[in-house]
Structure 1
Amino acid sequence: MIDPDRPAFGVNYVPREQWWNAWLDFDELSIVDDLAAIAALGCDHIRIQCLWPVFQPSPTSVSATAMSRLTVLLDRAHDAGLEVWVTVLNGFLSGWVFRPPWMPRGNLFTDPLAVSAAKTMVGAVAELVGTHPAGAGIDLGNEPNMLVGFEPQQVTEADLDGWARTLIGSVRSAAPNVPVVLGADHQPWTTSEVGFSRALLANEPDITTVHAWPYFSGFIGHFGEDNDLAWSIGAYLAQVAAAHQTTPRPIWIQEIGIAPEWVTDVSIEHATERLLRNALSVPAVTAVTWWASHDIHRHHGGFADLEYDLGLIDVNNKIKPTGHRFAEVIADLRTTPRPPLPTATVRLTPHSPANLDFATQWSKSWSPTQPPQITI
């Protein structure tokens, strides 16, 4: 994850049988088959998701059953040759919102009970990850900034930053050698919506992460799917994040993917290849993790339609054409020399979001082999 000459490639694992309700209806044999298919793609790591209410049914304890099942998953991933990043405090995932039942009204980011519970949870998982050979690191939560709109009280940037600093400290206290990251979505970088500060995201976790979705970011609609710039979102957000770093550090494109319904003029395979190659055009990018490993079975109702077909592997555990293209491209990128440093620069006004207007300015110097560097 931290060596620019050896980029890491993986997937966000979605169990094909039960989505992440697999923690409740646990099927080890199905998981073993899933992980074998992921390894066959050439992946070296997976990112997995805990469900907060399942893992922490009370604010003062962590479920022994859920932790045991997490250990089994780590064991089976190790058998498959995969490292595992564990995302812990998930209140937002695949478009669903989760809230621990013991915190029906309090603010998850500031209420003393919620913060104490979160420290207990991340500490317990960090201790396990830190002692397991497959444990790669801890992600505090999947896009926790998305929960701001669901909180019963107002949440500020300072609240979010304070929450993140507290929990980063808890991970480092429980497992000093375990890297810790924070998986926010694109909005703190590109909008003025309340979120974590860009300075915190860029500088306080051990690796800077970005979630680079061509549709949710607006890049497909803004540039058009026939334009290579539609598939430059990984390179763009990596450059935005790098510009906010006070000291250079690795950048992990933690989520990137494409839904079939987003394209009509280009193939999913083409979009997949361009997203991957453009992302690796930024020298600071040391890891890319695709969303997702598997499709979600249609008999699990309630998800938005786009969520069902994001996988590289289908619900029968067969690699899709998109998965084959993914495997071919990452194999090639592993042997391709990393790109040179960019020669063009584009200045972002301090404290301004890197919105689509700025992306247009950046795009004027776009090169798929040397995207322009963003400075502040």
Structure 2
Amino acid sequence: MPAFPTPSTTAQAPLRFGANHVPSSGWFYSWLDFDADEVARDFDDLAGLGLDHVRIFPVWPWIQPNRTLIRSAAVDDVLTTIDLAAARGLEVCVDLVQGHLSSFDFLPSWVLTHHQRSLFTDPKVREGLRTYVHTLATAVATRDNVFALTLGNEVNNLWPSNPTTIADSRSWAEELLETAREAAPGLHCLHSLFDDAFYAPDHPFGPADVTTLGDLSTVHSWVFNGVGAIDAPLGPATLTHADYLVELAAAYAAAPGRGVWLQEIGAPLPEVGLESVREFVTGTIDHVAQNPALFGITWWCSHDLDRSLADFPEREYDLGLFTVDHQRKPVAEALAEAVRRHRGARPAPVARQRLECPVDIARAPERRAEIAPGSSFHRAWVQARARGPVEIVPPGRS
């Protein structure tokens, strides 16, 4: 491993801390029977932790039930939600195309059954999506506390039911990002994928989609993806996985200095038990906060899922910072402590070890398994990370 290089002296903005809003009452079905008072109470909970932003998830088919119909009342509910956040000092990221949430797909009837067609490749569907994105982005851009738009939550979960290729997936995202930027100039416009984009050799969404599309890279760190099997709940691979993903995104970025947003991270059962949750939160954030590329951390999620709702994966019910009756959980206390420690001016970047990656996953995505959790490269990174922060160097960039 090469010697430590001279650290960058580039000034860095303070880290941002927020939460992904999962409504405490009725989950996302609550959009169908919108209750502003319930949303306000949820946001009171989050503001009380010292968070500065919330990520919200309008549900696409309930806003655009027909390709040529966008319900203004549903858009108004989104705007009311944003205003409620503003009243509590919270900025907002709006995810546009849901799409996929907690193992369920939400797609309008005009892409299903007798109208079955891929939202990534069908020209008519893409035309309808451009209209939807433009309309919703234009509306939310009227609110001063909106700072970002994401095309949708982990849209790569909508494959394979919606066939696509790496080329089609990329052109789909490029097209909608351009639409969002035209409608909402000045906002961060982003693309959100779960980590198969980095790790799965045959996945039709590539690492370059994360690292070159949109104004920031976004990563979602979940230890149930395989890393937890290595040493969960508190082993070095588990506690540094978020930092590993952030560093991968930074290493393959389109340009030096591109920020990376840890847009989702949570403490899932059974990988992280209640007795380990505080140390998991503290250890994970303390590691990743040292990464100079990190833009912010947005916890998944705000509130637990009511167990009266059926057929969710078991781990989805208990991911909240708060219970459904608004009680703070130990994970919330740990997050609030981490926010207090890391809020404010960031320390100067420290010198980092450099670890050369054996494969350029951006150019050879079929070799992604070589850097996945448990691979020889990942194990080498974990060992090096135990000695201090590590910079990943792609082939040919040393």
> Taking structure 1 as the reference length, what is the TM-score of the superposition?
0.94
| Deviating 4+ runs (over 6 angstroms) | none
* Cα distance change on mapping 1:287 and 1:33 into 2, 3 Å: same
Distance 1:256 1:341 in 2: 26
Answer yes or no: is 1:40 the counterpart of 2:48.
yes
Q: d(CA) in 1 for partners of 2:394 and 2:111?
A: 42
Residue-by-residue CA offset, 1:271-295 (whole Å, 9 max, x unaligned)? 1212222221211001110000110
Q: Is the 8 A contact 1:220 1:231 kept in 2?
A: no
Residue 228 of structure 1 deviates from its aligned partner by 2.4
Identity level (%): 30
CA distance in 2, matches of 1:264, 1:52: 34
| Residues 1:123 and 1:265: Cα distance change in structure 2 (over 3 Å) | closer
**What are the superposed Cα offsets for residues 295-335 of structure 1, whole Å, 9 maximum, x if unpaired?**
01111222111101001111111211110111011110114
The one of 60, 76, 86 equivalent to 2:68 is 60
Q: Distance in 1 between matches of 2:133 and 2:121?
A: 16
Distance 2:388 2:52 in 1: 25
2:147 aligns with 136
Q: Once the 2 structures are TM-superposed, how far is the Cα of residue 256 of structure 1 from its aligned partner?
A: 0.5
What one-letter code is carried by the residue in structure 2 that aligns with 1:343? Q
Secondary structure of the residue that 1:72 maps to in structure 2?
A: helix
Q: Distance in 2 between matches of 1:200 and 1:365?
A: 27
Q: Hey, what does 1:91 align to over in structure 2?
A: 99
How far did residue 195 of structure 1 move?
Answer: 2.9
Name the SS of the counterpart of 1:67 in structure 2: helix
Greater alpha carbon shift after TM alignment, 218-227 vs 109-118: 218-227
RMSD of aligned alpha carbons: 1.8
Counterpart AA for 1:88: L
- Any conservation in 2 of the 1:129–1:137 contact (CA below 8 Å)? no
Residues 28 and 205 of structure 1, relative CA distance in 2, 3 Å threshold: same
Map of 2:316 onto structure 1: 307
Q: Which amino acid aligns with 1:149?
A: P
Residue 228 of structure 2 corresponds to which residue in structure 1? 220
Q: Do the aligned residues in 1 keep the contact of 2:230 with 2:237 (CA within 8 Å)?
A: no
CA–CA distance in 2 between the matches of 1:47 and 1:361? Answer: 34
Letter in 2 for 1:324: E
For residue 294 of structure 2, what is the amino acid of its counterpart?
V
Contact 1:5 1:338 in 2 (8 A): no
In 1, Cα distance between the equivalents of 2:200 and 2:313? 24
Q: Which amino acid aligns with 2:287?
A: N
What amino acid is aligned across from residue 189 of structure 1 in structure 2? F
Partner of 1:119: 130
Partner of 2:80: 72
Secondary structure of residue in 2 paired with 1:150: coil
Matched, 1:277 2:286: yes
- How many residue pairs get aligned? The number is 372
Structure 2 residue aligned with 1:355: 372
Letter in 2 for 1:323: A
Report the 3-state secondary structure (helix = DSSP H, G, I; strand = E; otherwise coil) of the residue aligned with 2:33.
coil
* Structure 1 stretch displaced more, 85-94 or 329-338: 329-338
Q: Which amino acid aligns with 2:390?
A: P
Deviation of 1:207 after TM superposition, in Å, equals: 0.6
In 1, the alpha carbon distance for the partners of 2:127 and 2:75 equals 19
Q: 1:206 to 1:364 in 2, by over 3 A?
A: same
Which one of 261, 264, 268 corresponds to residue 252 of structure 1? Answer: 261
Q: Is the 8 A contact 1:348 1:374 kept in 2?
A: no
**Aligned position for 1:366:** 385
- Bigger Cα displacement from structure 2, 134-143 vs 256-265: 256-265
Q: CA deviation at 1:109?
A: 0.5
Secondary structure, aligned partner of 2:191: strand
Structure with more contact order per residue of length (Cα contacts < 8 Å, sep ≥ 6): 2
CA distance in 2, matches of 1:339, 1:130: 34
**Structure 2 counterpart of 1:340:** 350
* Deviation digits for residues 5-56 of structure 1 (CA, Å, limit 9, x no counterpart): 3000000011100111111111111111110110011110011111111111
